[in-house]
Amino acid sequence: MKTPKLNLNEIEKMLLKNAGIRMNEIANYAADELATVLSVPMQRAKSILALIEFQQVPSVGPKFAQDLIDMGYYHLAQLKDKDGAQLLDEHERFIGAWTDPCVEDQFRLVVHYANNPGSKKQWWNFTCERKTYRATVGYPDSRPGKAWHTLTILSD
């Protein structure tokens, strides 16, 4: 299991340390157990576990893992019967902008991985499939008109 990047705050890190839980052991806990150890809402614990699960997919990093969570997905099993192209369309509607084409390749990858656990394929293994599909089907008329890189990002 590769070590995921988690957006834990200092208090969460301290609580894990005090409980004797190493970063690579967090996935062994159920969401309710993790919520108790970290004194966080169940939603936060589910998000942490989802970040771990999604980052086990080859070439999926913390940003894309968070995108999946933001869309309401917390387990690979939820993606088994999905379609990578439709997930991209859903994601673009969610963020209100069209995004880099390789993001669709990542959606195709996580669907593939959900159906083929342990696969070593990377996102770029789905580029030809995506290009062929989009050349035939195109994008929906409802696709947002602005690009992802034009979105205003608020920082704290």
Amino acid 48: pLDDT: 97
Residues 25 and 72: their CA atoms lie apart, in Å, by 24
Amino acid 155: pLDDT: 47
Helix ranges restricted to H, the chain: 10-18, 31-38, 42-54, 62-70, 84-95, 101-115, 127-137
Amino acid 33: pLDDT: 97
HEC secondary structure over 123-140: HHHHHHHHHHHHHHHCCC
Amino acid 2: pLDDT: 74
Question: For each of the chain's 156 residues, which pLDDT tens digit applies?
Answer: 678 899 999 999 999 999 999 988 999 999 999 999 999 999 999 999 999 999 999 999 999 999 999 999 999 999 999 999 999 999 999 999 999 999 999 999 999 999 999 999 999 999 999 999 999 999 999 999 888 888 766 544
Amino acid 1: pLDDT: 66
